[in-house]
Structure 1
Amino acid sequence: MPLVIRPIESGDREAWARLFRGYRDFYALEPDESVIDAVWRWLLDDAHEVQGLIAMRDGVPVGLAHWRRFARPSRGGAAIFLDDLFTDSDARGGGVGSALIARLQRIAAHEGLLEVRWITSESNTAAQRLYDRVAVQAPVRTYIAGPSAS
């Protein structure tokens, strides 16, 4: 069955939301329909930086990718940041994740961007096996600081 990767469209709301809830469940995030609604609005807003791809196999949605372009000042160019990548559990191991990443690589090449970059949880070893095949691990650490009033 051929895999089709295409931009998310307005008619994809239900299928996309099912996949995105699966992504959030995988990372043990609290269910929050306001997050689902906000991200959906972003995806349909041409002026918003977040864009989405959906993977379809035999007409069935099996994966998604949320991504955005970002500036790389240290390299004097721009790149793609892959925020979220998810494959439905029934479709894992079938090339969905690698196809979504490959599509982003083609977009980067077409637009003259520097790279496709992403992060993953240290515990997501299944995804890391894919990532180790299609990319190189960056020698950086990620830090998070919350907002501060002072």
Structure 2
Amino acid sequence: RDAWEPLWRGYQEFYNVDLPPDTTDLTWRRFHDPAEPMYALGAFLQGGLVGIVHYLFHRSSWTPGPYCYLQDLFTAPAFRGRGVGRALIEAVYEAARQQGASRVYWLTHETNAQAMALYDQLADRTGFVQYRKLLS
């Protein structure tokens, strides 16, 4: 956790979010709970954790197997452009295949041009627009 948490905080800072410590604690516990469909992977270079990805599986009304939602992806700024993000996404693809998922999907902010340049090489843009209503 000591290596993961700075990257998790960096991801939140990138999106101008400050999650409560209880949410971070719960997220960490979910990664280690076999009953939870939420997972985490890390990328290591030069002896340290330099990238993280979080993903989860969920049912769909469109397919008998699950979908895989890649929820969070973050590479330490000093290691961007070295294939870390690509390797993490491809690792999620493999995990999704092993779980019988028919698709992996994710969202990014429309201003995240550097990430979208990578994503355009690894997946197709769908043209769908996300709507959101905060309930609390």
Give the TM-score band, short-chain normalised.
over 0.9
Letter in 1 for 2:132: I
Distance 2:128 2:71 in 1: 17
Within-5 A mapping of 1:12-51: 13-30=1-18, 32-51=20-39
52, 55, 64: which one aligns with 2:43: 55
Question: What TM-score results when the alignment is normalised by the length of structure 2?
Answer: 0.92
Displacement of 1:66: 0.6
Distance in 2, matches of 1:146 and 1:28, equals: 17
Q: What is the Cα deviation at residue 78 of structure 1?
A: 1.3
Match for residue 96 of structure 2?
A: 108
Pair 75,88 (structure 1): closer, same or farther in 2 beyond 3 Å: same
**Helix, strand or coil: the match of 2:10?**
helix
> In 1, distance between residues paired with 2:96 and 2:43?
18
Does the C-alpha gap of structure 1 residues 111 and 48 become closer, same or farther in structure 2, counting only changes over 3 Å?
A: closer
- Secondary structure of the structure 2 residue equivalent to 1:126: helix
Asked if 1:136 is matched to 2:124, the reply is yes
Count of matched residue pairs:
136
Displacement of 1:109 in angstroms is: 2.1
1: distance between equivalents of 2:23 and 2:99?
A: 30
1:112 Cα shift? 2.4
Q: Which residue in the other structure is 2:58 paired with? A: 70
1:141 positional shift: 1.1
Task: Please give the root-mean-square deviation of Cα atoms over the aligned residues, in Å.
Answer: 1.5
1:29-61 residue CA offsets vs partner (Å, 9 max, x unmatched): 125322221211111222122111111113210
* 1:52-102 Cα deviation digits (max 9, x unpaired): 111111321000011001122123331210000000001100101000110
Gaps of 5+ in 2: none
Secondary structure of 1:100's counterpart equals: helix
Unaligned runs of 5+ in 1: 1-12
